[in-house]
């Protein structure tokens, strides 16, 4: 699994001297730019490429209190072979589950290219003591997770305790070791695009391999303007330090069209080299079937019905 | 530069993700082989006996033959407008006039795709712009002014407004239908009748508009369309039966018109050229400012009188802005105007392309550095790659003269005072842009910039409710808003 | 043999739908059984109006103008129906034109009623008119349609939402109007129309703490009592023309907001 290299000097805290460079974001302009990119017309083989990419970049997710080994086993099977009737459809990038379900997920994906991502750090609220969050992360890693999706402490962020937010990320990253870390900003709670940009840069400074929009439990989640703001922050880091941090859009992405609109943003903000599961992921559950339906429509010329696709 | 360990994917990432061609269907509009003049509610053969062709600038293919209105034709059109004025339009109740304009607005909305495709074919602008900007604004313009037709006493309290009479209107080729809307809507709302001359290279949307007039059942002679060239315009300007002239076009021609009308008592408004300063401060939201710079000069291929063609960047952020700008220019898609993904379309005519080329060459000769992103242009048609000049001195031709193309000149400044000085240091005064997150500075700059339209943290925004027009040699008179009615009214 | 027509059931118009009164009551008017709204229906109507205010008031003025114009489009198609329950075709024509007239005001109000103020200090100062909120309207008894529209259109064109108590003796025009509203892209809750006994409903409307303005153009003797009730939350009490049109009718339902910002480098 790809791993971001060590931080270069100048990106650590304290952030105060760096604040003038963090910059602000104009809401109207960023929403207009995102809307304009969303109107790109993607057809035929460009569309098929995007649909297959959507599968390859997907973190197929179940994060419910009611999850059981049976549910996760079924999800893993779906993720490994999304469309049994079409062997050309690739596997998803990863299965994303709660820590207790990691052993089942690891077991069912063994020998395949599908990774196991685990949420941790008192997901989704993040409102627990740091020690607990670190321990939970360690447990998920020991269960065999390839990737950890942590949440930032929004309470600390919104009350200005940025150092606390930063420290937690550093400590979680530390126990991750080689395990790849995604940091969830929960953009729907941050209130402004300025805050999304600040949180993005803070997470990157703390050592994130990926920054992620949302837990999927709060709306709005991965809107196009939010993705754009995060991609621009990633671009700034890349230009200043050469470090490539990935981005995961999660929450509210239910249709194939929304998925490829996200890809257009990546393509035109960072470039086609970033259109790979190493650097971009979509966190979703019902999205997969919509993508499969669209793929089959491209291949057969007919609009599809859900009756012909398994739920899992 | 850090390296990444890459896992091998099943399918390799392509060198670029080429969005497949996404052409808008051309058959939504049907173009006639030939278009006579539209006078007195009828299609009328030109007494001049002359015709000219209009071409698609993206392919150089001829689209249709269009009648040429000579002096006799212009005379017939003006007579028709005078007759309609006396006999049916002026004495229709204002509420009824309003309803005709509301009908026109609604019909334009219903037929918007048809008009958008025609506009892109005839003029070269991307379908994305004609569909999302030109058409909605044109319909909105008619809707806005429809509402004023029976409310003039509230717009001008205690002044007893009356129509001026017959308005002669001459419009440019950069926003053909939208400019028609900007002229016709307030004129009709104020109770006037109109003789309108579309630009020589873009007559088709005005001619299709005549079908909207028919569907809306607008009385004959209220709007007359006389196609032709500069000679037709000159006839209209000097015709004694015309009470008021509205001209949008180059400053050079505007001055000629003003000279011709001197001493005649004929009312005049002019909307002329510009060389707008787009000013970026170090505390601007930079990525959005770059979007604004791009929009300011590459929207509509830079064929915009209010284009932000002089970029002033505060020296402390010059490198950042230039780097972001160059990268962003590289994502601009230049090509077939009818492709939905095209960002920059064709240059309107061979003539305009030659002018742009000449000025760009002058820029290089005078010593500025030129940057153009790699771009593959089609073989046929008129095209120019989006261009930015750096190391530009205020005195260079590219910083003084209006290029009217996708060419940006970039200069620096250190303090707000210096920015104001340089921005105002031009005979033009149409528009300006200011990019800063500091509210008080926006207002301070707006107070001092000598320009009729000031965009703060945005650019090229238009609305029928918002007055538009210039200071100094960019013209006089305003279009849009309550102020846009004034040129079309007489007061006690 | 002549065909037996299907008789229309006249219900309330609340939240974009046509419910019966929760009380199950009706009364006879103009030869039909008409729903007799209760205070609970009124309570629900105010709730719907408040719920709709956020979206209606923040729509662009252009959008609102188009919605009002579409009301005229839908009414034009129903001129024959409406003529039967009003003073005749002339009143209906006048009403359609009145909607068109008010539609044209939506995107012009700040230009006539607001503006920049030249204060004697380095500040940019401007006044913008804003809708007040939920407007309660006692519709005039006469003319049944034109009177209602003369009060309703100026209230909603600027972004207010409305709860209307229709003419008690002639309620059918109000419901026919509501049917046109329902097909004219008017968001549910922007206009709510209650039919019933005015003396029963008016005090509840006048005293409701979540109603911002009260139009008493259609009030008879009980006006003083209603004004007393309105004072409890300082409602703007309005009386206007029962069959006229003017931007000053719109102004009565507006709040003027003035903003200051320094001008400095």
Q: What is the tally of structural domains in chain B?
A: 2
- Residue-wise pLDDT tens digits, C184-200: 999 999 999 999 999 99
Could you say which of A133, A173, A182, A248 is catalytic?
A248
Q: Which of B150, B440, B464 sits opposite C264 (nearest CB)?
A: B440
DSSP strands (E only) in B257-386: 267-271, 277-280, 310-314, 369-371
Pair (B211, B312) in one structural domain: no
> Could C264 and B444 be called an inter-chain contact, meaning their C-beta atoms sit closer than 8 Å?
yes
pLDDT at B11: 41
Residue B359 predicted with pLDDT over 50? yes
pLDDT at C222: 82
Residue of B302, B322, B331 lying closest to B175 (CA atoms)? B302
Question: What residues in chain C have per-residue pLDDT under 50?
Answer: none
Token pair listed for A195: 């805050």
* Chain A touching partners, 3 or more CB pairs below 8 A: B
* Chain C touching partners, 3 or more CB pairs below 8 A: B
Pair (B203, B261) in one structural domain: yes
Q: What percent of chain C has pLDDT over 90?
A: 98
Count how many residues are written for chain B: 492
Task: Say how many Å lie between the first and final Cα of chain C, rounded.
Answer: 86
pLDDT at A207: 94
> Could B13 and A232 be called an inter-chain contact, meaning their C-beta atoms sit closer than 8 Å?
no
Pair (B206, B354) in one structural domain: no
Instruction: Evaluate whether B193 touches B221 at the Cβ level (below 8 Å).
Output: yes
Pair (B113, B163) in one structural domain: yes
Mean pLDDT of chain C: 97
pLDDT at A3: 47
Residue of A2, A206, C263, C89 lying closest to B434 (CA atoms)? C263
pLDDT at A18: 52
pLDDT at C31: 94
Cα–Cα dist A10/B316, whole Å: 20
Residue B34 predicted with pLDDT over 90? yes
What are the residues facing C33 on neighbouring strands? Answer: C28
CATH number at residue B154: 3.40.605.10
What average pLDDT does range B323-328 have in this prediction? 97
Q: Is residue B230 part of a domain?
A: yes
pLDDT at B1: 29
Measure A15 CA to nearest chain B CA, in Å. 18
Pair (B115, B261) in one structural domain: yes
Pair (B168, B317) in one structural domain: no
Pair (B191, B71) in one structural domain: yes
3-state secondary structure at position C215: strand
Pair (B146, B242) in one structural domain: yes
Residue of B217, B233, B231, B201 lying closest to B66 (CA atoms)? B201
Could you report the predicted ipTM of this complex, rounded to two decimals? Answer: 0.93
Q: Is C141 exposed, middle or buried, given 0-12, 13-18 or 19+ CB atoms closer than 10 A? A: middle
CATH number at residue B400: 3.40.309.10
Residue of C30, C10, C28 lying closest to C20 (CA atoms)? C10
Q: Is residue B286 part of a domain?
A: yes
Q: Which residues of C touch B481 (CB under 8 A)?
A: 111
Q: Which residues of B touch C108 (CB under 8 A)?
A: 144, 147-148, 151, 465, 482
> Could B98 and C100 be called an inter-chain contact, meaning their C-beta atoms sit closer than 8 Å?
yes
3-state secondary structure at position C60: coil
Q: Is residue B136 part of a domain?
A: yes
- Residue-wise pLDDT tens digits, B84-101: 999 878 778 999 999 999
Q: Is residue B20 part of a domain?
A: no
Residue of A270, A42, A14 lying closest to A163 (CA atoms)? A14
Pair (B334, B408) in one structural domain: yes
Cα–Cα dist B225/B206, whole Å: 7
Mean pLDDT of chain B: 95
Q: B281 versus B17: which is more confidently predicted?
A: B281
Q: Which residues of A touch B20 (CB under 8 A)?
A: 42-47
Cα–Cα dist B383/B376, whole Å: 10
Cα–Cα dist B312/A67, whole Å: 58
3-state secondary structure at position C228: helix
Q: For residue B365, what are the CA distances in angstroms to A291, B409, B411? A: 55, 14, 17
Q: Is residue B239 part of a domain?
A: yes
What average pLDDT does range B346-372 have in this prediction? 97
Token pair listed for B492: 């006690």
- Residue-wise pLDDT tens digits, B387-440: 999 999 999 999 999 999 999 999 999 999 999 999 999 999 999 999 999 999
Cα–Cα dist B223/A41, whole Å: 38
Catalytic residue ranges of B? 271, 305
What average pLDDT does range B138-161 have in this prediction? 97
Q: Is residue B170 part of a domain?
A: yes
What average pLDDT does range B9-24 have in this prediction? 69
- Residue-wise pLDDT tens digits, C172-184: 999 999 999 999 9
Pair (B443, B314) in one structural domain: yes
Instruction: Evaluate whether B422 touches B410 at the Cβ level (below 8 Å).
Output: no
pLDDT at A67: 98
Question: Nearest residue on chain B to C110, judged by CA atoms?
Answer: B465
Q: Which residues of A touch B285 (CB under 8 A)?
A: 23-26, 29
Q: Is C88 exposed, middle or buried, given 0-12, 13-18 or 19+ CB atoms closer than 10 A? A: exposed
Pair (B232, B353) in one structural domain: no
Q: Is residue B466 part of a domain?
A: no
Composition of chain C by helix, strand, coil, percent to 5: 40, 20, 40
Q: Is residue B26 part of a domain?
A: no
Pair (B185, B258) in one structural domain: yes
pLDDT at B15: 55
Q: For residue B291, what are the CA distances in angstroms to A227, B334, B455, C252? A: 16, 17, 14, 42
Task: Select from B443, B461, B466, B480 the residue whose CB has the most chain C CBs within 10 Å, as the one to mutate to test that interface.
Answer: B443
pLDDT tens over chain A, length 312 residues: 444 444 544 445 555 445 445 778 999 999 999 999 999 999 989 999 999 999 999 999 999 999 999 999 999 999 999 999 999 999 999 999 999 999 999 999 999 999 999 999 999 999 999 999 999 999 999 999 999 999 999 999 999 888 899 999 999 999 999 999 999 999 999 999 999 999 999 999 999 999 999 999 999 999 999 999 999 999 999 998 999 999 999 999 999 999 999 999 999 999 999 999 999 999 999 999 999 999 999 999 999 999 999 987
| Host domain of residue B342 | 277-456
- The structural domains of chain C, ordered by start, are 26-262 (3.40.605.10)
Token pair listed for A79: 């993720």
Cα–Cα dist C149/B474, whole Å: 46
């Amino acid at each position: 699994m790809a791993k971001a290299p060590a931080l270069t000097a100048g990106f650590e805290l304290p952030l105060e001297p760096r604040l003038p460079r963090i910059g602000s974001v104009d809401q109207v302009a960023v929403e207009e730019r995102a809307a304009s990119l969303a109107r790109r017309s993607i057809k035929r083989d460009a569309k098929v490429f995007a649909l297959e990419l959507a599968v390859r970049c997907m973190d197929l997710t179940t994060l419910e209190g009611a999850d059981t080994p049976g549910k996760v086993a079924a999800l893993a099977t779906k993720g490994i072979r999304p469309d049994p009737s079409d062997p050309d459809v690739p596997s998803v990038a990863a299965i994303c589950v709660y820590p207790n379900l990691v052993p089942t997920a690891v077991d069912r994906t063994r020998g395949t290219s599908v990774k196991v991502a685990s949420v941790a750090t008192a997901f989704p609220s993040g409102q627990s003591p740091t020690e607990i969050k670190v321990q939970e992360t360690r447990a998920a890693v020991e269960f065999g997770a390839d990737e950890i999706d942590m949440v930032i402490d929004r309470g600390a962020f919104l009350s200005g305790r940025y150092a606390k937010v930063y420290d937690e990320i550093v400590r979680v990253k530390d126990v991750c070791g080689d395990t790849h870390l995604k940091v969830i900003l929960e953009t729907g709670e941050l209130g402004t695009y300025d805050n999304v940009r600040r949180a993005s840069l803070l997470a990157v400074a703390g050592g994130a391999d990926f920054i992620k929009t949302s837990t999927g439990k709060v709306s709005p989640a991965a809107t196009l303007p939010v993705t754009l703001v995060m991609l621009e922050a990633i671009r700034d880091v890349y230009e200043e330090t050469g470090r490539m941090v990935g981005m995961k859009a999660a929450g509210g992405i239910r249709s194939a069209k929304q998925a490829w609109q996200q890809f257009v943003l990546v393509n035109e903000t960072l470039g086609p080299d970033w259109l790979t599961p190493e650097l971009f992921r979509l966190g979703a559950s019902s999205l997969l079937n919509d993508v499969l339906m669209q793929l089959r429509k491209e291949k057969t010329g007919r609009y599809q019905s859900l009756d012909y696709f398994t739920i899992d | 530069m850090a390296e990444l360990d890459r896992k091998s994917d099943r399918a390799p990432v392509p060198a670029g993700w080429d969005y497949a061609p996404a052409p808008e269907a051309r058959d939504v509009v049907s173009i006639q082989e030939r278009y006579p003049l539209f006078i007195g509610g009828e299609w009328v053969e030109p007494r001049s006996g002359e015709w000219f062709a209009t071409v698609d600038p993206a392919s150089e293919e001829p689209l249709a033959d269009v009648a040429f209105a000579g002096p006799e034709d212009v005379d017939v059109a003006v007579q028709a407008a005078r007759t309609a004025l006396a006999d049916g339009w002026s004495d229709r109740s204002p509420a009824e006039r309003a309803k005709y304009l509301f009908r026109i607005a609604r019909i334009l909305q219903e037929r918007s795709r048809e008009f958008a495709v025609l506009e892109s074919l005839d003029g070269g602008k991307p379908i994305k712009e004609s569909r999302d900007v030109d058409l909605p604004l044109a319909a909105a313009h008619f809707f806005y002014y429809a509402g004023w037709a029976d409310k003039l006493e509230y717009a001008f309290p205690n002044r007893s407004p009356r129509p001026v009479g017959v308005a002669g209107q001459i419009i440019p080729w950069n926003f053909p239908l939208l400019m028609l809307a900007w002229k016709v809507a307030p004129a009709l709302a104020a109770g006037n009748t109109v003789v309108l001359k579309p630009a020589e290279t873009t007559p088709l949307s005005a001619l299709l508009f005549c079908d909207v007039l028919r569907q809306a059942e607008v009385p004959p002679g209220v709007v007359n369309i006389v196609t032709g060239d500069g000679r037709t315009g000159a006839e209209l300007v000097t015709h004694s039966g015309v009470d008021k002239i509205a001209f949008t076009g180059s400053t050079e021609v505007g001055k000629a018109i003003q000279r011709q009308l001197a001493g005649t008592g004929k009312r005049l408004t002019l909307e002329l050229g510009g060389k707008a300063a787009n000013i970026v401060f170090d505390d601007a939201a930079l990525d959005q400012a770059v979007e604004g710079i791009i929009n300011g000069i590459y929207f509509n291929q830079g064929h915009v009188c209010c284009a932000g063609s002089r970029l002033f960047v505060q020296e402390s952020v010059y490198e950042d802005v230039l780097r972001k700008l160059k990268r962003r220019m590289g994502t601009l898609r230049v090509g077939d105007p009818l492709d939905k993904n095209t960002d920059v379309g064709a240059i309107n005519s061979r003539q305009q392309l030659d002018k742009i080329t000449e000025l760009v060459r002058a820029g290089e000769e005078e010593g500025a550095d030129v940057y153009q992103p790699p771009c593959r242009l089609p073989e046929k048609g008129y095209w120019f790659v989006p261009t930015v000049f750096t190391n530009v001195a205020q005195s260079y031709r590219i910083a003084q003269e209006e290029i009217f193309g996708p060419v940006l000149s970039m200069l620096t400044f250190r303090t707000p005072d210096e920015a104001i000085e340089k921005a105002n240091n031009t005979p033009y005064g149409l528009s300006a842009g200011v990019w800063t997150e500091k509210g008080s500075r926006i207002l301070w700059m707006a107070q001092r910039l000598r320009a009729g339209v000031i965009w703060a943290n945005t650019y090229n925004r238009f609305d029928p409710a918002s007055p538009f027009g210039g200071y100094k040699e960019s013209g006089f008179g305003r279009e849009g808003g309550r102020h846009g009615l004034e040129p079309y009214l007489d007061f006690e | 043999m002549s065909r037996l027509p299907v008789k229309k059931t006249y219900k309330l118009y609340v939240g974009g739908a046509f419910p019966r009164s929760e009380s199950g009551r009706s009364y006879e008017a103009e030869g039909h059984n008409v729903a007799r709204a209760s205070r609970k229906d009124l309570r629900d109507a105010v709730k719907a109006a408040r719920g709709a205010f956020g979206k209606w008031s923040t729509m662009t003025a252009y959008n609102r103008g188009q919605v009002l114009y579409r009301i005229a489009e839908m009414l034009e198609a129903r001129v024959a129906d409406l003529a039967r329950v009003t003073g005749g075709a002339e009143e209906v024509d006048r009403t359609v034109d009145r909607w068109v007239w008010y539609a044209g005001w939506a995107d012009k109000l700040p230009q006539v009623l607001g503006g920049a103020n030249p204060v004697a200090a380095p500040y940019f100062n401007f006044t913008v008119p804003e809708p007040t909120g939920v407007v309660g309207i006692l519709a005039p008894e006469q003319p049944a349609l034109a009177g209602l529209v003369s009060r309703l259109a100026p209230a909603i064109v600027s972004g207010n939402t409305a709860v209307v108590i229709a003419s008690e003796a002639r309620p059918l025009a109000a419901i026919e109007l509501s049917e046109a509203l329902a097909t004219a892209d008017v968001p549910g809750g922007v206009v709510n129309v209650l039919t019933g006994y005015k003396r029963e409903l008016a005090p509840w409307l006048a005293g409701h703490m979540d109603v911002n303005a009260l139009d008493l153009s259609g009030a008879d003797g009980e006006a003083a009592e209603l004004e007393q009730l309105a004072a409890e939350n300082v409602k703007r009490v309005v009386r206007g023309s029962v069959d006229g049109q003017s931007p000053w009718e719109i102004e009565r339902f507006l709040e003027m907001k003035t903003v200051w910002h320094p001008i400095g480098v």
